[in-house]
Structure 1
């Protein structure tokens, strides 16, 4: 009996995305589970503050299109169908939770840089995903300081 039936892997566009995707794919194969990939494009106004008196629409559209292209390449590398890859706009933790609930996901896989000190206290995207999920969450440790 398979432990998981549907796995959602939340991918950022860092160099470590492949590590997270490989782990999720491996778990999906072992469980004969469906695999879905998501990348969340955060609003620039959140990242840079809403006080910027510029129209960021064109830049936001370009970022979203680049994300779609990168996610499509990652999905192609593991033969993931178009319907199983999503690029959405919003806050990562909210969008990952929304897709997980709407798609009846029973495992979310996300990368974690294993931050310490002040970065740990302030939180991270992977921590936010963990604390609001209605299913299991696997944080795959990535980055140079793995131990």
Structure 2
């Protein structure tokens, strides 16, 4: 099977550039489209008690910062990027929805090989719920 559309799940850290490079190299070889997705934490879902901050404003500021960081990744890619998505909410739901809406057939994500990632890994969640192929790029820590 040849991949026609690659979705790169980025966390907007410096390691995201390694994912972009890997995905773009593959896309060039396959003449495939590339899209980026970043899913922010939804603060409202994490905290259920009373808190004296404006969650909507905090969420808005986080989304704006994420969009700006995404622009830098698009420039770094040096390849036509089909779509960039910045979302918030449940990782599995948001990723599955993007896969369906964009007709993606490969997800590229990273995985830190450190102590904490053995316990708390979003990559494991992606692997367990993703309906398509997943390329996991290891990050040595």
**Structure-to-structure mapping, 1:65-144, within 5 angstroms:** 65-79=64-78, 84-116=83-115, 119-120=117-118, 122-143=119-140
Structure with greater strand percent = 2
Q: Which residue of 2 aligns with 1:5?
A: 4
TM-score (norm 1): 0.84
Q: Secondary structure at the match of 2:113?
A: coil
Contact 2:112/2:139 (8 A) holds in 1: yes
Contact 1:20/1:111 (8 A) holds in 2: yes
Q: Secondary structure at the match of 1:70?
A: helix
**Structure-to-structure mapping, 1:13-52, within 5 angstroms:** 13-47=12-46, 49-52=47-50
Q: Secondary structure at the match of 1:28?
A: helix
Q: Quick one: distance in 2 between partners of 1:65 and 1:78? A: 20
State the Cα deviation string for residues 103-140 of structure 1 (Å, max 9, x = none): 11110000110244x742x4411111111111100111
Note the C-alpha offset of 1:83: 5.2
Unaligned runs of 5+ in 2: none
Unaligned runs of 5+ in 1: none
Q: Secondary structure at the match of 1:142?
A: strand
Contact 1:101/1:134 (8 A) holds in 2: no
Contact 1:7/1:107 (8 A) holds in 2: yes
TM-score (norm 2): 0.88
- What is the number of residues matched between the two proteins? 140
Cα RMSD after superposing both structures:
2.0
Contact 1:42/1:90 (8 A) holds in 2: yes
